Amino acid sequence: MKTQVDDLRKFSNPKNTQVRKRELSRSTQDALLRLAANPQDACALVTVYDSCGTDVKASAIRWFGRDNEVRNRAVNSILVAIGRRAGSYDPQSLGATEWVSRVADAEARRLREALDTAGNKGPRTRRAV
């Protein structure tokens, strides 16, 4: 008789993990191509966030620290940048997840520099190292 533990074991199998990553990458690639055709495709952007949200949040934390409000605003701006720049995505030259990570980090850096240049008079959130 099959138990829930047996069902869960199939997900811990390294082969299944690799298949899952490949499927996520493929769905992310498809979503980026849909965004390239229509930057306002909310479903495609949600797909990108579902598969790469951890990388997007990591970039926001790296450049803005752990303040939830600032991080959430940065994540939103990063997602807008991903939608806007999706037309530059070339699946032949870079994997979808890597492309999203690079765009996320570049946008977070740009936001941090703009905030610093604006001379924000409030306390500066330190960049995590």
Q: What is the CATH number of the domain that holds 42?
A: 1.10.1740.10
For 62-108, the pLDDT digits (tens) are: 999 988 999 999 999 999 999 999 999 999 999 999 999 999 999 99
Q: Which residues contact 120 (CB under 8 A, 6 or more apart)?
A: none
Please work out, in degrees rounded to the nearest 5, the angle formed at the alpha carbon of residue 98 by the alpha carbons of 46 and 15.
Answer: 85
Inside any domain, residue 128: no
Inside any domain, residue 53: yes
Inside any domain, residue 122: no
Categorize the per-residue pLDDT at 120 as very low, low, confident or very high, splitting at 50, 70 and 90: low
Inside any domain, residue 73: yes
Inside any domain, residue 41: yes
Residue in this structure with the two tokens 């991903």, named with its chain if needed: 82
Inside any domain, residue 124: no
Structure-token pair, residue 24: 């996520």
The domain total for the chain is 1
Inside any domain, residue 42: yes
Domain extent, residue 50, equals 4-117
